[in-house]
Amino acid sequence: MIIRKTTVLAFVAALAPVLAQAEIAVTVRDLGEILVAREFRAPASVIAANRAVVTSQITALIDEITVDVGDHVAKDQLLVRLDPADTQLALAEAEAALAALEAQLLDAEQRLRRAEDLLTRDFVSEDELNARETEVAVIKANRDRQLVAIRDARLALGRTEVTSPFEAAVVERQGQVGNLATPGSPLLTLVQTDGREIDAEIDPRYAAQLQTAADVRFISDGRQWPLELARLSSVIEIDTRKIRGRFRFSDLPAPIGSTGEVVWKEPSGLVPVSLIVQRGNALGIFTATDGRARFIAIPAAQEGRPAAVDLPVDTSIVTAGHTRLQDGDPVQIARE
């Protein structure tokens, strides 16, 4: 049988529309299943809430230092004991002076009452009465001043025992037993161990994402600690062009002085780079709807970077076979 060339051409021409409409096998997933969170990082370190140099508030010999470098101390724990002899003596003298004034006041008040009684019978003058009233007023003023002196002496006596202002680690010891401490003399240096925070330098471009970020972590030496944002400065520092962020530990804290990175993720997900293709001059993704592929351009997309899309999370996104597609191609859909 002889098959003419014209017959073959006619057959191929008739088959071309069928071939053109052949379905392309693709795999799809819902947009909400494929979104990836963009990750941000910022250099950070663990800092103490306070670093304090404990000093003497009175003049006294150092009797005892109960802690040393490396010790961990609780709030209100005794650190240094100063010789209380001078302050005890000052308190005793102040209390004795008060007792003398109380006796003088009792006597002056009795003489004032007698003068008032004698004045009614014209046995004393008005000047005499005024003198007695002045004497009582002066003694009362001296008594009040002596009460203040007693409070000061008791306060000084209490300051012979120096305690820790917070839970801390002792990092330096300046005082020595037998030395004379004076007001302001450094005794110990403490670093507060509770209330520690993370200090980080944040790029201002990502500050907004940080305020609503999920899964904020501090990473140092291969270990991770969950964090919570405590404060975010609104001032861009001139030297670094960054803003300061402070974070609290959600659980057990990292050691003070640790350095590393604060890492967080953008709450709204992005389409992975592997699903973004270029058609013409546009970058975008393919969806599969009613047996047809549809190219969805992403105007803000950049080559080699994940991109945000404004589509419902249940949109069927082509995850396999998308590199061969053109807009409008018929597709055979399989769900991953």
CATH of the domain at 66: 2.40.50.100
Mean pLDDT calculated for residue range 89-117:
88
User: Do residues 43 and 200 touch, judged by C-beta distance below 8 A?
Assistant: yes
Q: How many folded domains does the chain comprise?
A: 4
Q: How far apart are CA 190 and CA 170, in angstroms?
A: 5
- Tokens 């998308």 belong to residue: 322
pLDDT digits (tens, 9 = 90+) for 20-36: 567 889 999 998 888 88
DSSP string, 312-324: -TT-EEEEESGGG
* Final residue of a structural domain among 158, 182, 217: 158
Which residue shows structure tokens 């209380």? 84
Q: Do 44 and 62 fall within a single domain?
A: no
- Residue 9: the pLDDT is 52
A 10 A CB-CB count for 312 gives 8
Report whether 76 contacts 183 (CB < 8 A): no
Alpha-carbon torsion, ordered 208, 212, 214, 220, to 10 deg: 50
Range of the structural domain that residue 183 is part of: 53-81+161-192
Between residues 8 and 301, which one has the greater pLDDT?
A: 301
- Output the domain CATH number for residue 225: 2.40.30.170
Phi, psi of 139, deg, nearest 5 = -65, -40
Q: Count Cβ atoms below 10 Å from residue 243 Cβ, excluding itself.
A: 20
CA distance 41 to 292: 40
Q: Say whether pLDDT at 231 is over 60.
A: yes
60 & 106 share domain: no
DSSP 249-299: ESSSPPPTT-EEEEEEE-SS-BB-GGG-EEETTEEEEEEEETTEEEEEE-T
Mean pLDDT of 205-223: 87
Residue 244 has pLDDT above 60, yes or no: yes
Q: Which amino acid is at 143?
A: R
Residues 249 and 200 in one domain: yes
Pick the last residue of a domain from 250, 265, 280.
265
What does the pLDDT read at residue 145? 94
Spatial separation of the C-alpha atoms in residues 164 and 159, rounded to whole Å? 12
CA atoms within 13 A on the CB side of 6: 0
Q: Look at residue 132 in the predicted model and tell me its pLDDT.
A: 80
Residue 108 confidence (pLDDT): 86
Nearest-Å Rg of the Cα atoms of the chain is: 42
Phi and psi of 244, rounded to 5°? -90, 135
Q: Is residue 242 part of a domain?
A: yes
> What percent of the chain is modeled with pLDDT above 90?
63
Average of per-residue pLDDT across 159-164: 96
Residues 33 and 43 both lie in one domain: no
CATH of the domain at 323: 2.40.420
